[in-house]
Amino acid sequence: MHLDHSLSSSHSHHGPSAISADAHRPDGSRRALRIGLGGPVGSGKTATVAALCHALRDELSLAVVTNDIYTREDAEFLLREAVLPPERIAAVETGACPHTAIRDDISANLEAVEDLEDEVGPLDLILVESGGDNLTATFSKGLVDAQIFVIDVAGGDDIPRKGGPGVTTADLLVVNKTDLAPYVGSDLGRMAADAKAQRAELPVVFQSLRGDKGVAAVADWVRGQLAAWRAR
């Protein structure tokens, strides 16, 4: 038998690549903070990612992973908007099951974040956008360090009351498109009270990307997460 082959004779200074949430890369350096953005289709995840890139790209080294359901549209939107150079945007194909790729079988996403760090790193922050499907989709802790759940006022003002893992447990809940509330008859006060009831002390941001403040509050939250990650 050819037992004395390449597997027994290979040597390397570094270990092979990391497996999942390890805080360090194979060369010993600290990896980038990974933040996931989940939530229903159309709530404003890609728009929030684009706005965060605009807000943070001058102070941080950034990259984005998108998980489209059946196209590369999110990645292409970010490319068109030129929020980051193309080599900093990677698209993962999810096989009709976007929640599987961020929760049950995270290997393709882990490869995307690791390849980005290898190819354009060092990076401070990687944003991972979910393809978006339902209210139960959350990111695995093996993939991201913190997650943002994005809903919008137009999806119905009873979503915070209904709860579900995204609304209840995300590290940050963003209620987007507040500019549309008057047109769709959503009661922001009620949404805030329901969110508080579901989430206790976990933070909630009401945001309109069409308004003056835009993504500023979420960008501040991200800066806080990064400071905490660096202090860890």
Ligand X SMILES: Nc1nc2c(ncn2[C@@H]2O[C@H](COP(=O)(O)OP(=O)(O)O)[C@@H](O)[C@H]2O)c(=O)[nH]1
- Output the known binding site for GTP: 39-46
Shortest Cβ 178–ligand X spacing (Å)? 7
Q: Is 46 in the site for Mg ion (CB under 5 A)?
A: yes
Question: Which of 190, 186, 133 has the alpha carbon at shortest distance from 164?
Answer: 133
- What is the total count of residues that contact other proteins (CB under 8 A)? 32
Interface residue with ligand X, options 26, 42, 121, 142 (CB under 6 A) = 42
Q: Tell me the chain's radius of gyration from C-alpha atoms.
A: 19
For residues 11-50, one letter each, b for 16 or more C-beta atoms within 10 angstroms of the residue's C-beta and e for the rest, the string is eeeeeeeeeeeeeebbeeeebbbbbbbbbbeebbbbbbbb
17 binds, among ligand X, Mg ion, other proteins, none (CB under 5 to 8 A by kind): other proteins
Q: Is 28 in the site for other proteins (CB under 8 A)?
A: no
Q: Residue 68 or 117: which CB sits closer to ligand X?
A: 68
| Separation between Cα atoms, residue 178 and residue 182, nearest integer Å | 8
Q: Residue 80 or 196: which CB sits closer to other proteins?
A: 80
Binding window for ligand X (CB under 6 A); candidates: 6-14, 42-50, 194-202, 218-226: 42-50
Binding site for Mg ion (CB under 5 A): 45-46, 74
